[in-house]
């Protein structure tokens, strides 16, 4: 009999699990708290690693280009001179475009990026995506699990049962707080300024210097990354693509500086992200002046041409468990482990969780083997991201310390001690 599955959260991790389970004949309902059907992304980039590619090769039926391959990492010095660092290329896309593809694969929602959705196949289970549906509680109910779902408009609460519940409600997860009340997010001590600008909207020379390059520039304990991405609507044409940049900068928690940066142009104090277009103009002017003083001219040009930058606080979170209620509730994605974005591993982590889950669904591993795999992977990626972050944000000594901790963890995992 087809299993009824509830997925909490309709972003990358929830959609990937939903598609995979639907393809295995499960009837899947995704509850997503955001009311809007068409999801506005942050218009920002994500890295597409091998786990994401494996997932898409197996489960995506949307036949369209959605990535850009950026040339090997290049370090730019203050005079704009490029020094190749190593040979690996980087495959990128935009969050909004990937979500549009996943939605088309899950429940056939069409968009500018995917105007024709793939047809369901005979062996597929049912797929339902409910917007404006916030899950507020979860309970073990013997052979099934119950969740409470609050309607965003009426605030009515409905109780729904499922055989399996996948919790994919992100870093601030409501259900994780219920399942693991002692697990708390830790502020990592720095923020990311992010933005995108169309290639054609930037000075021609600056745009050409950085087009299709995965570039970085180190400053005094802060650094910036740049890569090229498609638009959320799926445009991959030169000139129309986007320069995507991420500038990491230390910022003391609860400081005056943090208060000023995270209070938007309408006087509202944000705690995770000041959304696109809402940065207080004076705050952004200051950042632009700093960019002009500390970055190569062409890169500073790209920042100056960015019309709607945004800023986020960076957190670490590591859950000690991912299996609850005897395997009927599973925690995945950022809700399980929130990895600093510096190494671009969050989407890879979500895909890894899903690919390993498929092995469990196929009977190739137990829920507890799945748990071991995803906890080990998340912990290792989290420490690796700390190494990468410390490369640009900390002293060499701190970076060596993070590297040792990461290597010790890998060794411990290999020996079965961690």
Under the rule (CB under 6 A), what is the footprint of ligand FAD? Answer: 8-14, 31-34, 41-42, 44, 46, 95, 134-135, 168-171, 174, 333-335, 341, 346-347, 350
Measured from the CB atom, is 169 or 316 closer to ligand FAD? 169
Distance in Å, CB of 127 to ligand FAD, minimum: 16
Measured from the CB atom, is 166 or 296 closer to ligand FAD? 166
> Which residue's Cβ lies closest to ligand FAD?
333
DSSP single-letter state for residue 326:
G
Measured from the CB atom, is 82 or 278 closer to ligand FAD? 278
Measured from the CB atom, is 32 or 298 closer to ligand FAD? 32
Distance in Å, CB of 122 to ligand FAD, minimum: 29
Angle at 75 between CA 203 and CA 244, to 5 degrees: 45
- The CA distances from residue 134 to 10, 33, 165, 311, 328, in Å, are 11, 4, 14, 25, 20
CB 396 within 8 A of CB 403: no
**Distance between first and last Cα of the chain:** 38
Measured from the CB atom, is 337 or 390 closer to ligand FAD? 337
List, in order, residues 6 or more apart from 295 with CB less than 8 Å away.
78, 217, 219, 224, 303
Q: Which of 363, 362, 337, 360 is nearest to 348 (CA)?
A: 337
- Beta strands 68-76 and 90-94 are antiparallel
Token match 């309709």: residue? 10
CA distance 193 to 203: 21
Distance in Å, CB of 391 to ligand FAD, minimum: 19
CA distance 100 to 231: 12
Distance in Å, CB of 223 to ligand FAD, minimum: 17
CB 15 within 8 A of CB 103: yes
- Beta strands 323-324 and 68-76 are unpaired
Distance in Å, CB of 175 to ligand FAD, minimum: 7
Distance in Å, CB of 252 to ligand FAD, minimum: 24
Distance in Å, CB of 363 to ligand FAD, minimum: 25
Measured from the CB atom, is 40 or 285 closer to ligand FAD? 40
Measured from the CB atom, is 105 or 298 closer to ligand FAD? 105
């Amino acid at each position: 009999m087809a299993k009824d599955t509830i997925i909490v959260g309709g972003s990358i991790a929830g959609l990937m699990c939903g598609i995979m389970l639907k393809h295995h004949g499960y009837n899947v309902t995704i509850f997503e708290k955001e009311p809007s059907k068409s999801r506005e992304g942050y218009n920002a980039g994500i890295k597409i690693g091998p786990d994401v590619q494996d997932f898409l090769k197996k489960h995506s039926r949307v036949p369209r280009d959605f990535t850009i391959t950026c040339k090997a990492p290049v370090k730019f010095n203050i005079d704009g001179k490029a020094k190749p660092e190593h040979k690996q290329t980087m495959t990128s896309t935009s969050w909004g475009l990937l979500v549009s593809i996943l939605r088309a694969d899950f429940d056939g929602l069409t968009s500018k990026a995917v105007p024709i959705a793939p047809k369901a196949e005979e062996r597929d289970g049912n797929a339902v995506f409910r917007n404006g549906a916030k899950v507020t509680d979860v309970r073990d109910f013997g052979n099934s699990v119950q969740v409470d779902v609050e309607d965003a408009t009426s605030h009515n609460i409905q109780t729904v049962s499922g055989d399996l519940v996948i919790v994919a409600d992100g870093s601030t997860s409501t259900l994780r707080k219920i399942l693991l009340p002692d697990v708390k997010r830790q502020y990592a001590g720095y923020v990311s300024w992010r933005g995108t600008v169309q290639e054609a909207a930037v000075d021609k020379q600056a745009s050409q210097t950085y087009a299709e390059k995965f570039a970085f520039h180190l400053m005094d304990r802060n650094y910036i990354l740049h890569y090229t991405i498609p638009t959320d609507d799926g445009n991959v044409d030169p000139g129309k693509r986007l320069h995507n940049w991420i500038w990491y900068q230390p910022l003391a928690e609860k400081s005056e500086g943090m208060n000023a940066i995270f209070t938007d142009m309408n006087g509202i104090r944000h705690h995770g992200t000041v959304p696109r277009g809402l940065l207080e103009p004076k705050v952004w002017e200051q950042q632009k002046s700093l960019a002009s003083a500390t970055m190569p001219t062409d890169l500073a040009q790209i920042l100056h041409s960015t019309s709607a930058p945004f800023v986020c606080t960076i957190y670490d979170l590591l859950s000690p468990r991912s299996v609850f209620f005897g395997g009927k509730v599973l925690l995945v994605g950022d809700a399980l482990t929130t990895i600093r974005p510096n190494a671009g591993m969050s989407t890879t982590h979500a895909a890894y969780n899903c690919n390993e889950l498929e092995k469990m669904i196929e009977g190739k591993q137990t829920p507890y083997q799945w748990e071991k795999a995803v906890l080990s992977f998340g912990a290792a990626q989290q420490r690796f991201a700390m190494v990468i972050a410390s490369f640009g944000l900390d002293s060499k000594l701190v970076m060596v310390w993070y590297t040792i901790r990461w290597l010790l963890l890998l060794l411990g995992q290999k020996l079965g001690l961690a």
